[in-house]
Structure formats: C-alpha cells, structure tokens
Chains A and B, each alone.
Chain A
Amino acid sequence: MKKKRKLGRGVAIVGAGMSKFGMFKDQDSKDLFADAFREMIVSVDKGVDPKEIDALYLGNFSSDYFMRQSHWGPIISDLVGIAPKPATRTEGACASSALAFREGVFAIASGFYDVVLVGGVEEMSKRTTEEVAEGLALATVPYEGRAGFTFPGVFGAVATAYFAKYGANREHLMNITIKSHNNAPLNPKAQFPITIQDLMNKKKESLKKREGTAPEWQTEKDFLNDPRANPVVAWPMHLFDCCPISDGASCMLLVAEEIAKNFTDDPITVAGLGQGSGRGFHASDDLTYFEATRYAAQEAYGMSGLTPKDIQFSEVHDCFSIAELVHIEDLGFFKPGHGYKAVAEGATRLDGLKPINTSGGLKCKGHPVGATGISQLYEVWTQLRGQAGPRQVPAGDLRFGGAHNLGGTGGTCTFTILERK
C-alpha cells in the first residue's frame, strides 16, 4: 500500500501579499516584490518583525532569459532585508513558486526553521510576444519544441484531442473565458478587470468612431467567434483562450503551526500537498488529461484525508482555457469528459457549486509565471479568511480551498489544499 504522507509538524500561513499583476514599464522585479512584501507584512494580524524570518524560498522561472539576470534568491533576500540569511531559488517553469511554497513548508515541518518567507517573481513584458513564446517554449519537452510546438500550440493540440474524444467544441471553451472575465473586475489586482460584455461594447464604440460602422455582435460569443476581435494564436487557441504576458510578484509568511497564535488568531493551515512530474506528449497514455496533475491530486487528497467533494472552491491553472477544463476533471471535481457540460451549466461560476478561479484566473488576473503559484494560494488564503470582498465565494463557512499550479507542458504539477480550522 502507498505510504500516507504527512508533515513532521503542522505549518500555517499567517500573512500573504501580492503586487498588482500587469505590464509595467516603470516597475521592475524588485519593485513588484517590494509591493508584495509590504502587503504581506501589513496582513499579519498581530504583526511580524522581519528579523524573525529564518530563510527565503523564491520561485522564478526564467529571468535569466526574460531579463538577462539570473540568481534572484539573494537579490530579493537583500531587497527585503533578510540577507545574509539563506535564500534559495526554485524553478518548475510556471509552477516555480508552488515549489518554493512546498520547500518552505518542508523546511518548517522538518523542525529546521520556524518562520519562512516564500514568494515568486517574474518580469516578462519587456520582451516581444515572439520572444516570450520562445522563452516559455524553453519549458516544453525537447521533442515538442523541435516539432515547432509553442505553449499555446501544446494546449491547442490537447484541445483537438479533447474535442475529438468527448465532442466538445470552441464554444465550450468560451464559457470558461467569459466566466473568468466576469470574476476579474471584482479583483483589484487583476490585469484585465473587464467583462467580455463591456470589452465588446467598448470595441464597438471605438470601431464606430473610427470606421463609421460597428460589427453586429449581439452576444459575447459573437464577439469571441469573430477573428477580427479574437484572432487565432495556435488553433483552436485564440487570443481570448490565452493568458496574457505579465509582470508581478507574490509572497507568503509560513510559520510552525504551534507558534501561529503569536501572529494571528486566524491562521490558515496546510492540509494537503501534492506534486507530480509529467513525461511529455510522446510518452503520455492519453492526450486529454495531465498525468502529473492526477498524481499531485492523489497525493494531496491522500495526505489530507479529503475528497474532491470537500474542496469548496479552487484556483486552477488556466494558462489556456482548455487547461482549466482538463484540470477540473483531473482534480476530480468533474468526471472525465463531463467538465465542459458542468461549465456550461454554470457550476464553476462564482455563485456555482464549485467556484473555479474566483481571482479571474491566469487568463484575467495575469500570469507572471514565477509568481503565479503563490498568487493562487494568496487567493485561497484570502477567500478562506472571508476577505475577498465582492468576489467572496457566497457559500458561507469556507473550510477547504485548493490551488492547482502547472509548469511546462504538464512537466511539473502541484495541488495544495489549505484549511481554515
């Protein structure tokens, strides 16, 4: 029988912060991390003296490529005044900071440290779209990159396999895009805080002014079906199926559960941790799911003793619309091949049975890859503490929320379950 994993001692999150996500000409990685750090310090209910922090774990995918600057651990550690204490960078492509979170949890659970800062940072917007596509494609499996696959391309291919197997189509993916855009205006940190409806009306107005006539879009799907408004990137992935290019930073303060009361009366604890590795398209049994996500979910459910039904809401890695669809099935929220029907019925909306990506998701909140994992956990932490304002999940008494983070083409996947006791 598989060993049931557990932590050597409990770990609690007592503070969290994130910068605004977006494309910032006048702010660099350090400025963004400083924003996240300041918010984290203020968020600790009973206060924290940064001198208490024992170590930093920092997720960063590819500043080496995007910024021509590597080795961000000590740079950030110095920025926030932790140096000369240790700083360690973790890299798992778009799951880099979920790995930083795990390492921080393990370091405390082992008894080695009591107070750890975990975070993530990425700065991407100073490159062209093609350069970003190349930078991200560095995290594909080598055979995929050589065959010309980009990131949107890989997920486009997953969509064609899913469509062929289950009979879904592009309009089902549009439901996911529309839902994310409905949540985003409720999130002050989001890169695109605008609904598709409002975006469509705005575009109509500007076209009318410029060209004298406006397109005949009646519904959000009319807009999304129009290649002038929503051009193809990697068929069937169109612009509005894809997360944007973003800059941003996120961080959290982890402490041993036994000392959490020194920091807050409302700590959020780590109930389940899972991480899996994927093997690339050529070695996958089926192209309509991610083996690494299923493995990570099994681990997290096994550790926590929970089932998918117990998870009241979740952030799910929606780098592309099809990724959210496939992963809500891989995490066990819906049966394989049923996710798209559940989405169409509104199950994943903010007021649905299983709200997914209340933050607006990577699609609208933004996806500064190295910062994403901890920004998802930030959303779960905020929701569990009832501090999400207008985007608060309406089902009262939230106890369990999940965060799923994916790196590469499914090479690194994590699922983390947080609990409010």
Chain B
Amino acid sequence: MEERPFSDITYEQYLKEERLMGSRCKECDARFVPPRSICVKCFSSDMEWLELKGKGRLAAFTCITIAPPFMIAQGYNRKNPYISGVVELEEGGRVDARIEGLDPNKPEEIKVGMPLKVKYLHTEVGAKKETYLAFEPL
C-alpha cells in the first residue's frame, strides 16, 4: 500500500477519500486505529497500512445540546443537538465518531451495542472544507 506517513494528518486525508485506515505492526501484528507510527506493544516502527471495513457496534454515546463553537458553526445548538459516540469496530479497536441517522432528542431509543456502519460527513463552513468520521445504523 502507499508510502504515506502513519500520522493523524494522513488519517484525516484518508477520511476525505472515504477510507477508514489504521496501522499494523509488521513485527508483532498489533493493530491500531487511528494509526500509530510507533508500536506501543513492541516499540517497532515497522508499520503497514490496514483498511477497516467500517462496521462496528455502538460502545457509548451522548447527545450534546451545549455545543462548542466549531459545532455551532455547523448549525448545532441547544434546539438542534447532535450525537457523538465511541464505536467498537468489527476488527477490534475503537474510534470516536459522530453518530448520524438517530434522533438526538430521543436518547432513550439509542442502544449501546447497536450495529453501525461508517459514513463520511463532508462539511463546508465558509471556505473551509472538512470531513468528519461518522457512523449510522446498519
């Protein structure tokens, strides 16, 4: 696979390309999402890219009404909350992501453990284009 550095910047670039990528240690087979450049199991720096299927289960979530400014700029506020969550991936490992396709005003209906699939949120605020990792019900 491509020789891109195993960094947060590359992780974000891959998200823009709608790919969820982690790294695998060639020495000890440890797997990391988001990618690490140094293996924290055996301390090798010999890594390769690993593409994730983008399927998983909801491990934890919250419906946020008091939003930080960068989310307010995307239209979220006390009347229009959003969901953030932690997703346990099918291959193992967890990622932090936005959760779409569920009603943040009905948190009682959102169940920890529910199956999810990846979705890439492409946003444009002013001239700034960003892609955020998100998941939605399978």
Contact = CB atoms under 8 A, between A and B. Distances in A.
A232 B82 CA distance: 12
A157 to B, nearest CB: 4
B67 interface: yes
Interface residues of B, number: 36
B64 A234 contact: yes
Given A147-B85, A282-B96, 11 more contacts: A130-B72, A137-B68, A147-B96, A147-B98, A147-B132, A148-B67, A154-B62, A231-B65, A235-B104, A235-B107, A237-B62
B91 to A, nearest CB: 14
A166 B75 CA distance: 35
A79 interface: no
Interface stretch (A44-52, A138-146, A327-335): A138-146
B14 interface: no
19 contacts: A134-B70, A141-B96, A146-B133, A147-B85, A147-B133, A148-B82, A148-B84, A149-B84, A149-B96, A150-B66, A160-B62, A161-B59, A161-B60, A161-B112, A234-B62, A235-B62, A235-B65, A235-B81, A282-B34
Contact of B62 (A129, A131, A157): A157
Closest 3 CB pairs of A and B: A156-B62, A164-B112, A157-B60
Contact of B84 (A130, A153, A158, A283): A153
Contact of B60 (A129, A158, A283): A158
A143 B66 contact: no
Interface string B51-78: 0000000011111111111111000100
A156 B107 CA distance: 11
Contacts of A235: 62-65, 81, 104, 107
B93 interface: yes
Nearest to B85: A157
B8 interface: yes
A233 B59 CA distance: 20
B59 A287 contact: yes
Contacts of B65: 231-235
Interface in A141-182: 141-150, 152-154, 156-158, 160-161, 163-164
Query: Looking at A150, A236, A284, which has the most chain B CB atoms within 10 Å of its CB?
Result: A150
> Among A143, A147, A163, A164, which residue has the most Cβ atoms of chain B within 10 A?
A147
A99 B98 CA distance: 33
A281 B34 CA distance: 11
Interface centre among B82, B86, B97, B112 (most CB of A within 10 A): B86
A398 interface: no
Contacts of A287: 59-60, 86
A149 B112 CA distance: 17
A283 B92 CA distance: 11
A133 interface: yes
Contacts of B5: none
Nearest to A236: B107
Interface string A43-85: 0000000000000000000000000000000000000000000
A141 B112 CA distance: 22
A282 B85 contact: no
